[in-house]
Amino acid sequence: MCSIDALLKGFQRFREKYFQGSDKPYDRLKLAQRPDILVIACSDSRVDPAILFDANPGDLFVVRNVANLVPPYSDHGGALGVCAALEFAICQLEVEHVVVLGHSQCGGIQALATGPDGEFIPQWMYIARDASSDQTSAKALEQSSIRLSLGNLMTFPFVKERVDEAKLAIHGWYFDLDSGELSGYDHQTGVFKAIPR
């Protein structure tokens, strides 16, 4: 789909845009990053948050992993990369929003439904085992997994403290690859609703 040569040509276009144009954002960004938003997204090549949200360098602090999972604080399953990124973004960068971004046709979630193969994937997907208890469709399971990660986020003391003080908001979003629609988890009703365009 994309060769190494195409990748390097892409980098040249990036340089022309961000280092040679009239506005040179890296003059500022090289000094520090100050993103307001942490996105926890899937590693899936179709759901890059920066592309989905047409974001600029410096806008988003991003954690990507298989099936956009957040482990629970007390039983993080060795997922130190996720925990360290959460701690850095929330405690040091002091982001104001965390978005757990799930998506349709998620291979990780499909593996959860069918029984994951491999050496590491089963251990990783074990984090989401409780999402699969009574879900009948892939979409329901994908959305249940987002809800689970939102719940797990709140088990981190530094998250709960900031949410309680209204310094941090957590969001669950779901991107549908079929329709191109984005829906958001409504904390009041417990369901996902289309986010108006």
Near Zn ion by CB under 5 A: residue from 85, 106, 127, 159: 106
∠ CA 187-192-103, rounded to 5°:
120
Q: Which is closer to Zn ion, CB of 98 or CB of 106?
A: 106
Q: Which of the ranges 7-15, 50-58, 100-108, 110-118 carries the binding residues for Zn ion, by CB under 5 A? A: 100-108
Determine the interface stretch with Zn ion among 10-18, 28-36, 103-111, 180-188 (rule: CB under 5 A): 103-111
Q: How far is the CB of 39 from Zn ion (least distance, A)?
A: 13
Structure tokens at 136: 């009948």
Closest distance of CB 168 from Zn ion, Å: 25
Of the two residues 139 and 162, which places its CB atom closer to Zn ion in the complex?
139
We find the least distance from the C-beta atom of residue 41 to Zn ion, in angstroms, to be: 8
| Cβ-based neighbour number of residue 153 at 10 Å | 23
142: contact with Zn ion by CB under 5 A: no
CB 36 within 8 A of CB 97: yes
- Report how many residues bind Zn ion under the rule CB under 5 A: 3
SS3 141: helix
Q: Which residues pair with 169 in a beta bridge?
A: 97
Neighbours of 56 (CB within 10 A): 12
33 or 123: CB nearest Zn ion? 123
Count CA atoms closer than 13 A to 15's CA, side-chain side. Answer: 6
Distance of CA 19 to the CA centre of its chain: 28
**Does residue 44 interact with Zn ion by CB under 5 A?**
yes
> In this complex, which beta carbon is closest to Zn ion, that of residue 60 or of residue 90?
60
Counting contacts by CB under 5 A, is residue 42 touching Zn ion?
A: yes
Contact between 122 and 113 (Cβ < 8 Å): no
Query: Which residues sit at the interface with Zn ion, rule CB under 5 A?
Result: 42, 44, 106
